[in-house]
A and B are shown apart, each in its own frame.
Chain A
Amino acid sequence: MFGYGGKILYINLKTGKTNTESLREEFCEKYIGGVGFATRLLYDNNKPMINPYSPDNTLIFANGPFNGTMVPCGTKCSVVSKSPLTGFIGDAVTTSYWPRELKYAGYDALVIRGRADKPTYLFIDDAKVQLKDAKDCWGKTPIETENLIREELGDNFIKVAAIGLAGEKLVRFAGICSDSERHHAGRTGLGAVMGSKNLKAVAIRGSKSVLVADLDQLKQICYDLYEKSQGPATEKYRTLGTPQNVLVLNRLGCLPTRNWQQATFEGAEKVSGESMLENFVTDVPGCAGCPIACEHFCTVKDGPYAGTQSGSIDYETLYALGPNCGVDYFPAIIKAATLCDHYGMDTMSTGVAISWAMECYERGLLTKVDTGGLELKFGNYEAYIQLIDRIASREGFGDLLSNGIKRASEQFGKGSEGFAIHIKGLELPGYDIRSLKTAALGWAVAARGGCHNRSGAYDFDISGAVDRLKAEKSRGNLAMESEDYAAIFDSLVLCKFIRRVFKDFYAEASRLYALVTGFKMNSKELRKAGERIINLKKAFNIREGWTRKDDHLPPRVMRDPVPAGVGKGSLVTSAELNLMLDGYYEARGWTNDGLLSKQKLHELGLDDISEEMGV
């Protein structure tokens, strides 16, 4: 096959049995790759309503057709399973050398089932697949694990994706780290699924080439994309990086601060992208096959955390561990992010969990006795650094937080559910959606929970395409458009940072797809594939018990108006949310309860799902 590796690799960790399945052309055209492939494979391989930590929960890694080719920013892969954090579809994207090596080994997807009897790692050496003893790696950080595996296998070029302590301890927001802790499938707790399977790491050595259908034409288009990738459309990523957002969002009154109690932060300058670049950035590398290079590695030169070297510090990490915890001391944020990487833990969920605990403490709901001596006031970075250790090891008070903020607040009670900042159990990213109402809808409905990477609906609000303070039924169309668009990026799989380089994304991407794979695809068909994938994710969630009430917003977003700044007085009322939900379900062709209609499923070629749950 062109573009694709042509094979799906199935592995049973209990029996050690492996088998491969050849990729079918129809499957490729319907689901594209990445999250499209992985969602379909999850739907077909998981039984409904199983415990995410059951051996029967399937963990899937899936590449897209562009990985391993010259298409820029295409070396990402999707990781999917039933999430232990949300109970719905868990979906994260990781990037660079490890996913590309999977393609070089000849596989478009890994489907992992069962539980190994003891700590194990998987070694994929082209067609040879082995389960190996990981007892020496257990308890180690992802980077230590990578080094141990490379030493054992005698090859420093083997690519390794591994979990850290958090995954082993089943922290519900543990991630999977690869490329020496540079890259992460961070969200929705997929590292904990790996831990539940006693699977410490997946090591890969691949030696195959990826062929494309029309090299000459592809070259021309890719050269153009590479050139444009050096232009204004990506300037931000190459210079300040995503932390450029801090001062902009602060000025617009959308920078969540102190567990979303405020939307502006007095310490914003200190934790800005400008401050980061001037004082801490020591290297700005890029992923494999990326002409943009957005990673901003940081080093702390002096003070209590001197010598700390981090991977890329991006805006979401910065928001969650900075303003949202009231922390304006940048070296502490670098230290905290580095600890999360060593433990293999999502920085966003970690920061939001800690900010919830800080609010509990400041309200007198928690005392030092409860926290094991930690004075969890906003801004107390020394305390939050210690708390990160305890979350990863599930020690003392950290154990409560390790279950994610939804479970933690429900267990703790005392009204703390009212300021638990999550949607479907997923802790929120750093945009105060009280004054970004299209984004509020996009996040409420997103299948994996509130997330800026599965719905970029804030683009409409911030770019002025709509009045960001107003809720309208027509926002449903925008939220749908944004989700479908993201689903195609996550299926091809392309990095979203290249999106503004395309003038007409669906036309250009479908052309690229055809040149890479040799399969005919037009922009309408590609757009339809995005819609199909979103419907499929929704089908998975419905099978797991989703109802309309799961498309919710945090109580704080609907109850507590933004207290100051440009967005002062903003919130999303229940009536506004319902109006926008009605608009969204209508735009999708779903029922008013948000269920999938037979007609829509049939139109999308999902007849088997129509039979099963169409209404």
Chain B
Amino acid sequence: MKTTIEFYGWAKRLAKTDKAEIDLGKVAATLRNVSIEVAKKFPELLGNILSPETFEPIETYRYNVNGTNTAQNLDVYIKEGDKILLIPIVAGG
């Protein structure tokens, strides 16, 4: 299964791109599988935005699926064609 990851804010600067295709190589995958693949492809994110141990984002970042559902944990299954966003939690000024 392939999916698209979009990067925002610091994640975009670290990844040096705003989006990428991730090949998960299997039919059923969770956000954690996505995060592991993202970390392999963009190691600059590890230790900055993604935990090297759990691959979970730091407190100020979240994975979001298709712009609607922001995930509270990474054990959420995704579907073929889902767009995954790595977003900062926004706040104004």
Chain A contact residues, CB within 8 Å of chain B: 232-233, 235-237, 239-242, 244-245, 247-249, 251-253, 273-274, 294, 312, 314-316, 429-431, 452-453, 456, 458-459, 462-465, 467-469, 496-497, 500, 565-566
Report yes or no: B93 in contact with A315, Cβ–Cβ below 8 A: yes
Contact present for B92 and A452 (CB under 8 Å): yes
Are B62 and A464 touching (Cβ within 8 A)?
yes
Contact between B60 and A500, CB atoms less than 8 A apart = yes
- Min distance, Cβ B83 to any Cβ of chain A, angstroms: 9
Q: Tell me, yes or no, whether B44 is within 8 Å of chain A by CB.
A: no
Cα(A458)–Cα(B37), bound, Å? 30
B76 → chain A closest CB, angstroms: 10
B16, chain A: closest CB distance, angstroms: 12
Whether A232 touches B70, Cβ cut-off 8 Å, given contacts A244-B90, A251-B8, A452-B92, is no
Most buried by B among A273, A462, A500: A462
Given A233-B59, A233-B60, A500-B59, also A249-B90 (CB < 8 A): yes
| A296 vs chain B, min Cβ distance (A) | 10
Chain A residues within an 8 Å CB radius of B72:
464-465
Tell me the residues in window 14-38 of chain B with beta carbons closer than 8 Å to chain A beta carbons. none
Give 4 closest A-B pairs by Cβ, nearest first: A464-B70, A242-B93, A566-B67, A314-B93
- Cα A14 to Cα B48 with chains together (Å): 58
A453 to B92: give the CA distance in the assembly, Å: 8
- Minimum C-beta distance from B70 to chain A (A): 3
Measured CA separation A135–B64 after assembly (Å): 57
- Rounded to whole angstroms, the CA-CA distance of A468 and B89 in the bound complex is 13
Q: Are A566 and B70 in contact (CB under 8 A)?
A: no
Is the Cβ of B93 less than 8 Å from the Cβ of A497? yes
Select from chain A the residue with minimum beta-carbon distance to B85: A251
Task: Kindly state the separation between the CA atoms of A500 and B59 in the bound complex, as whole angstroms.
Answer: 8
The reply to whether A253 and B10 contact each other, CB–CB distance below 8 Å, is no
User: Residues of B contacting A565 with CB < 8 Å?
Assistant: 67
Q: Chain B residues with Cβ under 8 A from A244's Cβ?
A: 8-9, 88, 90
Q: In the bound complex, do residue B10 and residue A236 qualify as a contact, i.e. CB atoms below 8 Å apart?
A: yes
A406, chain B: closest CB distance, angstroms: 21
Q: Is B87 an interface residue (CB 8 A)?
A: yes
Task: Show the binding face of B for A, using Cβ within 8 Å.
Answer: 6, 8-10, 12-13, 48-49, 58-60, 62, 64, 66-72, 85, 87-93
Residue of A237, A248, A312, A430 with most partner-chain B CB within 10 A: A248
Of all chain A residues, the one with the shortest Cβ separation from B10 is A235
Q: How long is the Cα–Cα vector from A350 to B47 in the complex, in angstroms?
A: 42
Q: Shortest distance in angstroms between A508's beta carbon and chain B's nearest beta carbon?
A: 15
> Are A236 and B9 in touch, CB under 8 angstroms?
yes
Counting residue pairs across A and B whose Cβ atoms lie within 8 Å, the total is: 91
CA distance A459 to B88 in the complex (A): 11
Collect the chain A residues with CB atoms within 8 Å of residue B85's CB: 251
Q: Is A431 touching B92 in the complex (CB atoms < 8 A)?
A: yes
Question: Contact: B62 with A236, CB < 8 Å?
Answer: no
A-B contacts besides A459-B91, A464-B72, 17 pairs, CB < 8 Å: A232-B49, A232-B58, A233-B60, A235-B60, A239-B10, A240-B9, A244-B8, A248-B8, A248-B87, A251-B8, A252-B67, A316-B92, A431-B92, A462-B90, A463-B70, A467-B69, A565-B67
A465–B10 CA distance with the chains assembled, in angstroms: 22
Contacts of A253 in B (CB 8 A): 67
Query: Cβ of B13: which chain A residues have Cβ within 8 Å of it?
Result: 239
Residues of B within 8 A of A459 (CB): 89, 91
- Contact residues in B for A468 (Cβ distance below 8 Å): 68, 70
A496 and B91 alpha carbons, distance in the complex (Å): 10
CB-CB < 8 A to A462: which residues of B?
A: 70, 89-90
Contact of B93 among A251, A316, A464, A465 (CB under 8 A): A316
Which residues on the B side are within 8 Å of A312 (C-beta)?
93
Nearest CB of chain B from residue A455's CB, rounded to whole Å = 12
Residue on B nearest A566 in the bound complex, by CB: B67
Could you say which of B49, B70, B71, B91 has the most chain A C-beta atoms within 10 Å of its C-beta? B91
Q: Is the CB of B71 within 8 A of A464?
A: yes
Option from B6, B49, B58, B71 in Cβ contact (under 8 Å) with A251: B6
CB-CB < 8 A to A566: which residues of B?
A: 66-68
Q: For residue B60, give the distance in angstroms from its CB to the closest CB of chain A.
A: 6
Nearest A residue to B59, CB-CB: A500
User: Of all chain A residues, which has the CB nearest B6?
Assistant: A251
Chain A residues lying within 8 Å of B92, measured Cβ to Cβ, are: 242, 245, 314-316, 429-431, 452-453
Could you name 26 residue pairs across A and B whose Cβ atoms are closer than 8 Å?
Answer: A232-B59, A232-B60, A233-B60, A235-B10, A236-B10, A241-B93, A245-B91, A248-B8, A248-B9, A248-B90, A251-B85, A252-B67, A252-B87, A253-B67, A273-B9, A312-B93, A314-B93, A316-B93, A456-B91, A459-B89, A462-B70, A462-B89, A462-B90, A496-B91, A565-B67, A566-B66
- Return the chain B residue nearest A242 by Cβ: B93
